[in-house]
Amino acid sequence: MAGPLPVSPLAQPMPEVPPIAGVTLGVIEAGIRYKGRADLTMLEFAPGTTVAGVFTRNKCPGAPVDWCRAALKGGKARALVVNAGNANVFTGKAGREATAATAEAAAKLVGCKPREVFLASTGVIGETLPHERLTAALPALHAALAPDRWADAARGIMTTDTFPKAAVRTATIGDATVTIAGIAKGSGMIAPDMATMLSFLATDAKIPAAALQEMLSKGSARSFNCITVDSDTSTSDSVILFATGQAKHPRVPAEGGAILRDFARALDELLLDLALQVVRDGEGAQKLIRIDVTGAASAKSAHRIAMAIANSPLVKTAIAGEDANWGRIVMAVGKSGEQADRDKLGIAVGGTWMAREGGVVPGYDEAPVVAHMKGREVEITVDIGLGRGKARVWTCDLTHGYIDINGSYRS
Amino acid sequence: MAGPLPVSPLAQPMPEVPPIAGVTLGVIEAGIRYKGRADLTMLEFAPGTTVAGVFTRNKCPGAPVDWCRAALKGGKARALVVNAGNANVFTGKAGREATAATAEAAAKLVGCKPREVFLASTGVIGETLPHERLTAALPALHAALAPDRWADAARGIMTTDTFPKAAVRTATIGDATVTIAGIAKGSGMIAPDMATMLSFLATDAKIPAAALQEMLSKGSARSFNCITVDSDTSTSDSVILFATGQAKHPRVPAEGGAILRDFARALDELLLDLALQVVRDGEGAQKLIRIDVTGAASAKSAHRIAMAIANSPLVKTAIAGEDANWGRIVMAVGKSGEQADRDKLGIAVGGTWMAREGGVVPGYDEAPVVAHMKGREVEITVDIGLGRGKARVWTCDLTHGYIDINGSYRS
């Protein structure tokens, strides 16, 4: 496309991210695809850092995802290398060689095993990653790593993003305070070209890998797995959490447990903050949409219904047009295939119930609905009227901007 | 929206539909929603007419779908009444009363049981159908029914369609020739407002209801269930086939069988013809896209993969941009969740293999691909490389036109 995209109207300012003990970061121009901007990002972690990860469910994942899944079995991490501009997906043997060569080069610099190096690549699919450019840039990148470069890292991993995404939270473990920092990229949820969702988090807490993984999996299910822009699923999506163990706090047992309650709360908040920043940067997004489903047969059923609404092009275009078209929501509930009874459905927009028990609410006040639809944040509640299952998901509207961005991406 | 939509660039001229013995048709202005155009269509069938039907799988169907499902149990039909402009969906008890009142009024005019009257309504959801306007218009409509008004009927059932859709085929049963005629409407596949897919077919053949149903179910699975515009599923979709039994041919047994082989072939052709006309009128469509999947683990798996590709907004916007972005096709295969091996995938566009065995084909000729993408009809072949399952589906591209139509529909 000609020139950079305008910044999303839903963008948020990037918070100040403090140094995390045991983490140094840096970025460099490796010239992989972009010119005049950093496109290679590295994080180094103190010895003893544990790691957890959640990856795409796409059946055709990129070589870096395969690499990370294997590396995760060791539960230890010393480095993360991320390049922007080339996804190293659908690149066959050359792609596997690129991941191995990059990890080996980073491992040599850090003084660790290649399997303690984690990798992520986003960008164009099917082009061989020129990994010799990565390995050539790594020594200078490594030599300049510093603890205070989170903002640079947040920018370095961007592709079609229109604003950098970061978040930070503190939590107590026993009577000690620990910090969790995170960055994310993503703006199509989740396109295979240059718009994959990646998120990397680090904490100074000392948490065994198994407990870390359990918290990350649960937190991701309630955050990154509850957002959608266009129903497409990247071949590269990755969320990786590193715990450097530099903070002093009571020992956390392997199975985690009650001592991690506040940490899990802070992690959940952080993950949701980053996930919503990704939706706020959804391609062409003009409105952030929150969908609550209540009264479904189960929580799983509620989630499926909510995602069917969130992924419906007809619902999303109606909201772009500021039209509280609840007929399209009825349609989306029905197409989800989940248990629903037309005659028990209720639908509210911005807190105003427009439909109840299978029919329009006679004489409901349209004024607050119209005003709500004109805002940047739209809230939809759908009550299925059958059980106690509930779910909450987020999406954005479907606009001309989405077509512009995706109809001419490579040209 | 302001003014009528421009006719789809993929439109086809309507064929001449001859009278079908045992069928009379007509249209009238009932003033349900539209002004200055016919919005009520009626077909009357000779005594002894058998019927088969296939309906939406949406769990929140409209009242007319419920009515037809119940009426279908009798296997006999004498009339069909279709209104445009109001879907009679999500209208609760009032909706059920509207269907019963309409069927009773039509039955009285025809001299049959209400359960021999079939109904379809498309248009806005959630507004009470003013059925007294329908029943008031029915006597004049019924009095003017004639055998040669298929073209009027094709226009009378339209809502957001930009061109009327009809098709006709002949078939032999024994040594007799019979005719099958059909009309269809639909342009979003399949929106709940004014863009539901409906298709009505009639033949002069004498075919028991069970055999008719089997052929219609099979034929719909290979036609109407293989098209998609936006992945949305209407609450009103209906395909109904009437067989008047006026033609003279050898007796068809209840279970059908070999004698119906040529009829089934002609019916399949007709259904596919009409289904493709619906895709050609897809909201905002500029290109008709055919997707062939071969080498899948099973036919069902191939169908799911093909539909995942056909429903991917990223694939559809790329094609709108005339970009043979096969990376997005890889992504869509992966997100289908079906068995696939990245390293065995092959992808061809317009017959040119761009990717084979998990990687780009080195030095493939881009010129024919670029030329093919500029055309009105785009053909994509994906070979999964695992088994013998294959499927073929059709869709259209996703353009600014779709956003225009659906982002401002009710305003």
According to the annotation, is B179 in a ligand binding site?
no
Average pLDDT over residues A162-174: 93
Spatial contact of A190 and A58, defined as CB atoms under 8 Å apart: no
Q: Two tokens at A293?
A: 């489903």
Q: Which amino acid is at A90?
A: F
Residues B70 and B158 in one domain: yes
Helices B400-407 and A313-320: angle between axes, nearest 10 degrees: 70
A334 and B124: CB-CB below 8 Å?
A: no
Residues B216 and B317 in one domain: no
Phi, psi values for residue B182, rounded to 5°: -150, 150
The pairing of strands B50-55 and B238-243 is antiparallel
Contact across the interface for A234 and B331, Cβ inside 8 Å: yes
Structural domains counted in chain A: 2
**Which alpha helices (DSSP H) does A281-312 contain, by range?**
299-310
Q: How far is B247 from chain A (nearest CA, A)?
A: 40
What are the tens digits of pLDDT across the range A86-102?
888 777 788 899 999 99
Q: Using CA atoms, how far apart are residues A129 and A86, in angstroms rounded to an integer?
A: 6
Mean pLDDT value of segment B246-275: 92
pLDDT digits 0-9 by tens, A178-215: 999 999 888 764 433 334 678 889 999 999 999 999 99
- pLDDT at residue A286 is higher than 80: yes
Cα(A161)–Cα(B53) distance, integer angstroms: 49
Tell me what percent of the residues of chain A surpass a pLDDT of 90.
Answer: 57
Distance CA B223, CA B218 (A): 9
All residues at 6 or more sequence positions from A381 whose CB lies less than 8 Å from its CB, including other chains: A291, A292, A293, A294, A347, A348, A349, A351
Out of B60, B321, B343, name the one closest to residue A330 (CB). Answer: B60
Q: Answer for the pair B349, B398: CB distance below 8 angstroms, yes or no.
A: no
Provide the shortest C-alpha distance from residue A71 to chain B (in Å).
20
Neighbour-count burial for A378-389, b at 16+ CB within 10 Å, e otherwise = bebbbbbbbeeb
CATH number of the domain residue A256 falls in: 3.60.70.12
Query: Searching chain A, which residue's CA lies closest to the CA of residue B305?
Result: A59
Q: Give yes or no: residues A175 and A58 share one domain.
A: yes
Tokens 């980073």 sit at which residue? A106
- Residue ending a domain, choose from B280, B310, B337: B280
Q: Which of B97, B383, B403 to mutate to test the interface with A (most CBs of A within 10 A)?
A: B403
Mean pLDDT, chain B, integer? 88
Cis amide bond preceding B259, omega within 30: no
Whether B193 shows a pLDDT value over 70: the answer reads no
Least confident of A56-65, A161-170, A204-213, B114-123: A56-65
Element (H, E) at B54: strand B50-55
Same-domain pairing of B295 and B166:
no
pLDDT at A60: 79
> Are B196 and B341 contained in the same domain?
no
Instruction: Identify whether residues B183 and B311 lie together within a single domain.
Output: no
pLDDT at A68: 95
Residues in chain A closer than 8 A to B327 (CB atoms): 87, 89-90, 124-126, 192-193
Q: What percent of chain A has pLDDT above 70?
A: 94
> Closest chain A residue to B309 measured between Cα atoms?
A232
Instruction: Pull the structure tokens for residue A131.
Output: 């990994």
Quick one: pLDDT at residue A43? 97
Q: Does residue B396 form part of some domain?
A: yes
**Residues A225, A317 share a domain:** no
In this structure, the answer to whether residues B28 and B83 fall within a common structural domain is: yes
- B269 annotated as ligand-binding: no
- Please indicate, yes or no, whether residues B213 and B312 belong to a single structural domain of this protein: no
Q: Does the pLDDT value for residue A40 go beyond 90?
A: yes
A87: closest chain B residue by CA: B327
Digit-coded pLDDT (tens) for A227-260: 777 666 667 778 889 999 999 999 999 889 999 9
Q: Could A333 and B360 be called an inter-chain contact, meaning their C-beta atoms sit closer than 8 Å?
A: no
Probe site for chain B from A97, A286, A307, A314 (most B CB atoms < 10 A): A314
Residues B357 and B213 in one domain: no
| Among candidate residues B280, B310, B327, the one where a domain is terminated | B280
Same domain for B273 and B394, yes or no, is no
Contact state of A327 with B89 under an 8 Å Cβ cutoff = yes
Interface contacts (A, B; CB < 8 Å): 232
Distance, CA of B190 to CA of B236 (rounded, Å): 9
Q: Indicate which CATH number applies to the domain containing A373.
A: 3.10.20.340
A5 domain residue, yes or no: no
Distance CA A389, CA A295 (A): 5
Q: Is residue A10 situated within a structural domain? A: no
Residue numbers in B near A334 (CB within 8 A): 58-61, 233, 235
Among candidate residues A280, A308, A338, the one where a domain is terminated: A280
Contact B235 A330 (CB under 8 A): yes
- Compute the distance between CA of residue B168 and CA of residue B141 in angstroms, rounded to an integer: 24
Q: Which residue of B has its CA nearest to A125?
A: B327
Neighboring chain B residues of A192 at a CB cutoff of 8 Å: 314, 327-328, 330-331
Hey, of A33, A59, A409, which one would you mutate to test binding to chain B, going by the most B CBs within 10 A of its CB?
A59
- Contact list, A411 vs chain B (CB under 8 Å): 321, 323
Hey, are the CB atoms on B409 and A355 less than 8 Å from each other?
Answer: no
Q: Are residues B194 and B275 in the same domain?
A: yes
The C-alpha angle with vertex B396 and arms to B89 and B374, in degrees rounded to 5, equals 160
Q: Residues 6 or more apart from B390 whose CB is under 8 A from it?
A: B292, B293, B294, B295, B296, B299, B302
Q: Is residue A149 part of a domain?
A: yes
Summarised one tens digit per residue, pLDDT across range B146-167 is 999 999 999 999 988 889 999 9
| DSSP per residue, A191-216 | BTTTB--EEEEEESS---HHHHHHHH
Which of A60, A191, A334 is opposite residue B340, by nearest beta carbon? A60
Is A411 known as a binding-site position?
A: yes
CB B327 within 8 A of CB A90: yes
Cα–Cα distance measured from residue A57 to residue B320, given in angstroms and rounded to the nearest whole number = 27
pLDDT in tens, A357-396: 888 898 899 899 999 999 999 999 999 999 999 999 999 9
Over chain A, what is the mean pLDDT?
88
Measure CB to CB from residue A192 to each of B61, B125, B328 and give the nearest one: B328
pLDDT of residue A125: 76
Instruction: Identify the weakest region by mean pLDDT among A88-97, A130-139, B152-161, B364-373.
Output: A88-97
Lowest mean pLDDT among A286-295, B99-108, B324-333: B324-333
Q: Distance (Å) from the C-alpha of residue B388 to the closest C-alpha of chain A?
A: 19
- The whole domain housing A181 covers 23-280
Distance from CA of A17 to the nearest CA of B (A): 34
**Residues of B with Cβ-Cβ distance to A400 under 8 angstroms:** 400, 403
Cross-chain Cβ contact B403/A358 below 8 Å: no
Coil, helix or strand for B210?
Answer: helix
* Two tokens, residue A279: 């939706």
Domain presence at residue B14: no
The residue from A122, A196, A228, A395 that is catalytic is: A196
Tell me if B116 is assigned to a ligand binding site: no
CB spacing of B403 vs A407 below 8 angstroms: no
A306 part of a folded domain: yes
Task: Please tell me the predicted confidence (pLDDT) of residue B1.
Answer: 39
Q: Is B316 annotated as a binding residue?
A: no
Query: Closest approach of chain B CAs to the CA of A93, in angstroms?
Result: 9
DSSP bridge partners of A352: A349
B283 annotated to bind ligand: yes
Contacts of B359 in chain A (CB under 8 A): 90-92, 94, 126
Catalytic residues of B: 196
Residue from B122, B193, B331, B400 whose CB has the most chain A CBs within 10 Å, to mutate: B331
ipTM of predicted assembly, 2 dp:
0.73
Domain-located, residue B11:
no
Q: Is residue A217 part of a domain?
A: yes
pLDDT above 90: residue A283 = no
Q: Give the pLDDT band (50/70/90) at residue A313.
A: confident
Contact A59 B407 (CB under 8 A): no
- Chain A residues within an 8 Å CB radius of B58: 331, 334-335
Who among A57, A334, A409 is closest to B60 (CB)? A334
Cβ separation A407–B333 shorter than 8 A: no
Residue of A nearest to B235 (CA): A331
